Amino acid sequence: MARVTVSCPVYPSEDPDKVRAAVLNLFPTAELALADGVLSGPADLVRFSQKIREQRILDTARSQFLKGERRGHTVATIRLNKQVATVGKVSFVDYRTVLGTIDVTVEDEDLDALIDRVAPVTVNGEEVSC
C-alpha cells in the first residue's frame, strides 16, 4: 500500500486557510495539520492522477516521479507550485520557489508499479500498457 504525504510551508504573509485550500484542490482527502509553519499530512493520489490526465501532462508527471526517486527506488518526492495549485492546476517545479512548494512524497515497495498507475507511459499522447 502506498504511503503519500503532502507538506508545504505557510509563511507569516500567507493565509493558512488559502494554503490549505490550494493543497486540497489537488489532494482533497489530505488530512492536513499546521505545525511549526508547515502544513502536512497523509493524502492519496486519486485527484492528482485525474488532474494530470485532464491537463495532458502524463509524460511530465512520470519524468518528475522518476527524477524524484531515491532510497532504493521505494520513495519518490515531487514538488508542485503552490500558487498554481490555488486554481486547481498541477505545475511541477525543480527548485524551491519564493513562496515554497507543495512537496509530495510517495513511498511504496513497488514504486515503479505505482508510477505506472498514476502516470503511465504514453505514445503520441495516449496511455499505453507496458
pLDDT digits (tens, 9 = 90+) for 79-114: 999 999 999 999 999 877 777 899 999 999 998 889
Domain span including residue 88: 3-121
- Domain assignment present for residue 30? The answer is yes
The pLDDT assigned to 130 comes to 58
- Domain assignment present for residue 90? The answer is yes
The pLDDT assigned to 76 comes to 92
**Total domains present in the chain:** 1
Prediction pTM value: 0.90
Confirm if 27 and 47 have CB atoms less than 8 A apart: yes
Confirm if 82 and 19 have CB atoms less than 8 A apart: yes
- Domain assignment present for residue 81? The answer is yes
The CATH number covering residue 19 comes to 3.30.1440.10
DSSP 71: T
Transcribe 1-34 into DSSP letters: --EEEEEEE--TTS-HHHHHHHHHHH-TT---EE
Set of cell numbers at residue 92: 511541477
- Domain assignment present for residue 129? The answer is no
Amino acid at 81: N
- Domain assignment present for residue 127? The answer is no
Amino acid at 106: V
